[in-house]
Amino acid sequence: MNSHDDGPEQEEPVPVEIGDVLDLHAFAPRDAKAALEAWLEEARARGWRRLRVIHGRGIGVQREMVRKVLSRRADVEWFGDAPAEAGGWGATLITLRGVEGPEPPRS
């Protein structure tokens, strides 16, 4: 059987260093929601309270997806636009509820 019959080749997962900032530009749009949800779970598990997601300005599709995910999570205390020097409306700041732990490495 040749490789054309096996379907599309799957790439091996690549380990990604995790920090308190997630830049969604690194992900295909179809993978962004799953990446965000996994990152939020990992950030919570590591005890991080203050986070930032960079979704870009564009037409607002990624920003809307991020905010929908955050609004449905009981562990999110607050979220809103980042200040201009941290991305403005192209990034969202997040505060997780009830998380105590070490400060994350700065990305």
Count up the domains in the chain and report the number: 1
Q: What pTM was computed for the model?
A: 0.79
- Whether residue 103 is contained in a domain is answered as no
The predicted model gives 72-96 an average pLDDT of: 96
Instruction: Report yes or no on 11 lying in a domain.
Output: no
pLDDT for 1 equals: 45
| 2 located within any domain | no
Distance CA 86, CA 57 (A): 13
Question: For the domain that residue 48 is a member of, what is the CATH number?
Answer: 3.30.1370.110
* 3-state SS, one letter per residue, for 71-87: HCCCCEEEEEECCHHHC
Residue 39 belongs to what domain range?
Answer: 18-96
* The residue to which tokens 């779970």 are assigned: 41
- Establish if 10 belongs to a structural domain: no
Write the DSSP assignment of 35-56 as a string of letters: HHHHHHHHHHHTT--EEEEE--
28: Cβ contacts below 8 Å, ≥ 6 apart: none
Please say if the pLDDT value at position 91 is more than 70.
Answer: yes
Identify whether 12 is part of a domain: no
Residue 104 lies in a domain: no
Which pLDDT band, with edges at 50, 70 and 90, does 103 fall under? low
Spatial contact of 22 and 54, defined as CB atoms under 8 Å apart:
yes
For residue 92, being part of any structural domain is answered with yes
